[in-house]
Structures are given as structure tokens and as C-alpha cells.
Amino acid sequence: PVYKMGQMFMYDLYQSQYNMKEFCVFSLDDVDATFEKIIQLKYNQTIPLKGKGYGLTVTPLPAGHMIGGTIWKIMKVGEEEIIYANDFNHKKERHLNGCELEKLQRPSLLITDAFNATYQQARRR
């Protein structure tokens, strides 16, 4: 669903720009050609990279922040494990489960942000 939602968003962006002025940055054919190159993955599905990325694997994990939000686990088999988690939520919400931080044990490198570091969530009743 996120793949299709992204494609529809790009169609809508194109159409809204085209309706306001002459728009030639990209066409709907460009959108289609780009989306044909996307490899759709499910959460926890590991895929080995090819070419310059040979020897690396990537695994998407649910970030718990928004629909389609992803934490990326990047591994070099038998060596390093990198976690790229720039926007995640560890608490269960009404519409999404939180990310499962306990599954990410002692990576070699954790890349994250501190955007909500000082945010204090209101208590639930």
C-alpha cells in the first residue's frame, strides 16, 4: 500500500503543479519509470545487495512512527551491523505497534536523530 500511495502522491503533485503553471520538471511517464525501478520489501525481509553493495544485506524493520516508516538494518555478513533509525517510536499507538528495539542488540553503529529528545508525551488515562 505504501508503494501505491507514494505513486499516487507523485501523480497528484504533478497534476497540481501542472494545473497552476507550465510544469516540465518531470512527467507522469517519469514517475512510472521511476516506480518500476523500486524493489518492494516487506518488514523483516532481508535482501542481498548487488554491484558495489555486494556482500551487504539490508532489512527493513517497522519504525512504529508512521505507515511505511522504516528502520534499516544494514549488515556485512559476519562483520558489521549498522542500524539507521532516524525517526522511530518505541511505544504502541492506537494505529501502529511501536518499533521493536529489543531485536536490535548491540549494533556496530546506530545512526539516529534527537528531534524529539525533549518531547514529553502526555500521560494516558
What local confidence, expressed as pLDDT, does residue 1 receive? 77
Whether the per-residue pLDDT at 87 is higher than 70: the answer is yes
What local confidence, expressed as pLDDT, does residue 77 receive? 79
Each domain of the chain, given as residue ranges in start order, spans: 1-40, 41-119
What local confidence, expressed as pLDDT, does residue 62 receive? 86
Q: Give residues with Cβ within 8 angstroms of 105, minimum separation 6.
A: none
What local confidence, expressed as pLDDT, does residue 48 receive? 96
Q: What is the pTM of this model?
A: 0.75
Q: Which residue has the higher pLDDT, 10 or 68?
A: 10
- Mean pLDDT over 83-103 rounds to 72
Residues 30, 32: Cα–Cα separation, whole Å: 5
Whether the per-residue pLDDT at 92 is higher than 70: the answer is no
| pLDDT single digits (tens) 37-83 | 999 999 999 999 999 999 999 999 988 777 778 889 999 978 899 99
